Amino acid sequence: MRIGFGGMLAVLVCLAGAPSRAADQPGFTVDGQVRQTLHPNAADVQKLPVIELEVAFEAQGKMQKAKFKGALLLDILNKAEIVDAEGKGSAFRHAIEVASSDGYAINLAIGEFHPFLEGKQVLVAYERDGQALESMGGLRVVVPGDKHGARSIRDLVRITVK
């Protein structure tokens, strides 16, 4: 069967008009002690206030310098709303586990990035040195101030509030 001109046009319009989202975008889950489990992708993260951060960290014995662009982890967690299961009114009891697709995971205390306490600008980054991270191992969590790159976790897939 041949596709007529109209059919071809429909296919082209369909391809051109397909919004770049969901399946072809790196995304992750926010779950655990939250009111709302979220499944944001890179486009959702890009809608949040943009933060740019220059960091230096050691990796495999070498210093790396990089400029990351992303959103605050705090802004994402505020959308999910951390619960206080024990009802004592303190979000600071919780810890955040950040996991990657390769099974690598790290931990953060809320106090490290909460503005009442250390207030570090922990990012969920989608760009490194002007290049989309999509082509470099997906979304990346960046923890400013860390001397080693161990918590600069690539290909973020899950943020769990414990």
Ligand X SMILES: Nc1nc2c(c(=O)[nH]1)N[C@H]1C(S)=C(S)[C@@H](COP(=O)(O)O)O[C@H]1N2
Count residues near ligand X (CB under 6 A).
Answer: 12
Complex with ligand X: residue 74 or 98, whichever CB lies closer: 98
Rounded to 5 degrees, what are φ and ψ at 119? 65, 30
Q: Check residue 154 for interaction with ligand X (CB under 6 A).
A: yes
> Least distance from C-beta 148 to ligand X, angstroms?
6
Does residue 37 sit in helix, strand or coil? coil
> Least distance from C-beta 28 to ligand X, angstroms?
12
Q: Check residue 104 for interaction with ligand X (CB under 6 A).
A: yes
Sign of CA dihedral 118, 120, 122, 123: positive
Tokens of 65: 């310098």
Angle at 66 between CA 99 and CA 132, to 5 degrees: 65
Q: Check residue 158 for interaction with ligand X (CB under 6 A).
A: no
Count CB atoms within 10 A of the CB of residue 124.
25
> Least distance from C-beta 71 to ligand X, angstroms?
19
In the complex, the residues that contact ligand X under the rule CB under 6 A are 59, 64, 100, 102, 104, 148-150, 152-155
